[in-house]
């Protein structure tokens, strides 16, 4: 499509939210949402309960804004909105948010291989950008995200390396991290141990539960509890 309809105040977070909402609406059988999907992806089954992939919903949003694909739309938003801003920080945030969207959408060893690889590469890229523009805490949280993606897709050697790196950064720079960082680090180590059948897996999980319960802020504690409850274990 030649006609681009990107608004002057385009916001990538809002566009991602639109894609997630379209995906949910398709799964719920909304006729208008299914028609939008069918118009762009006639090869995708469009019926109530269909497990629409997030990338398919993103493609619909991109096409509706006049772009050939999601990457083209993202590139246009970056070009429009990043002028005069720290690009390392911008990409760190956007890649982080996008990767968590994919994780929360059920990324697993059964996901298409291109989705698995894209999520892992995005996690590495986000961490790289944070290492250039952020704090040691940003770096550590990037290590956790890499470990979370790697665990989800079954790359347990990679997951173990980065989960240990997060824990190591916390140990080396204790003042830079929060109570929920310690809880997340413990959960990450416990999850990898459980997936690999390590002898200390249950001990590590008990420690993760203890640290999560000790998180002072109720909202932070809730997020940690939800992460602990998430698959895979």
- Residue-wise over 196-227: b if at least 16 C-beta within 10 A, else e? eeeeebeebbebbbebbeebeeeebbebbbeb
Q: Is the pLDDT of residue 1 over 60?
A: no
* Residues 158-177 pLDDT 10s: 999 999 999 999 999 999 99
- CA nearest to 144, candidates 221, 233, 227: 227
* Residues 65-109 pLDDT 10s: 999 999 888 878 877 776 655 788 888 988 999 999 999 989 999
Separation in Å, CA 221 to CA 152, 160, 165, 200: 22, 24, 22, 24
Q: Is the pLDDT of residue 136 over 90?
A: yes
Distance CA 15, CA 70 (A): 10
* Residues 32-44 pLDDT 10s: 999 999 899 888 7
Distance CA 162, CA 105 (A): 22
In the chain, the domains with their CATH numbers are: 12-81 (no CATH), 87-229 (1.25.40)
69 touches 41 (CB < 8 A):
no
Distance CA 166, CA 147 (A): 9
Query: Which pLDDT score, from 0 to 100, does residue 7 have?
Result: 74
In the DSSP assignment, the letter for residue 174 is G
Q: What angle in degrees, to the nearest 10, is found between the helix axes of 136-152 and 179-196?
A: 30
Q: Is the pLDDT of residue 2 over 70?
A: no
Query: Which pLDDT score, from 0 to 100, does residue 218 have?
Result: 97
Tally of helices (H runs) and strands (E runs) in the chain = 11, 0
């Amino acid at each position: 499509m030649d006609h681009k309809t990107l608004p002057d105040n385009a916001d990538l977070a809002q566009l991602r939210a639109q894609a997630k909402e379209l995906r949910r609406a398709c799964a719920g059988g909304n006729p208008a949402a299914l028609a939008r999907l069918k118009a762009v992806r006639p090869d995708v089954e469009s019926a109530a309960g269909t497990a629409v992939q997030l990338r398919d919903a993103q493609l619909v949003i991109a096409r509706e804004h006049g772009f050939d694909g999601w990457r083209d739309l993202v590139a246009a938003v970056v070009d429009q909105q990043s002028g005069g801003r720290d690009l390392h920080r911008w990409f760190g945030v956007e890649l982080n948010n996008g990767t968590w969207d994919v994780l929360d959408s059920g990324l697993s060893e059964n996901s298409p291989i291109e989705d698995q690889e894209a999520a892992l590469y995005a996690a590495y890229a986000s961490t790289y950008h944070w290492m250039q523009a952020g704090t040691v805490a940003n770096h550590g949280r990037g290590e956790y995200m890499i470990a979370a993606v790697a665990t989800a897709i079954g790359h347990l050697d990679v997951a173990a390396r980065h989960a240990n790196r997060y824990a190591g950064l916390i140990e080396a720079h204790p003042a830079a991290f929060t109570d929920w960082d310690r809880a997340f680090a413990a959960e990450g180590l416990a999850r990898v141990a459980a997936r690999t059948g390590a002898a200390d897996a249950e001990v590590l999980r008990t420690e993760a539960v203890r640290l999560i319960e000790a998180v002072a802020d109720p909202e932070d504690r809730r997020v940690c509890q939800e992460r602990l409850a998430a698959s895979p274990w």
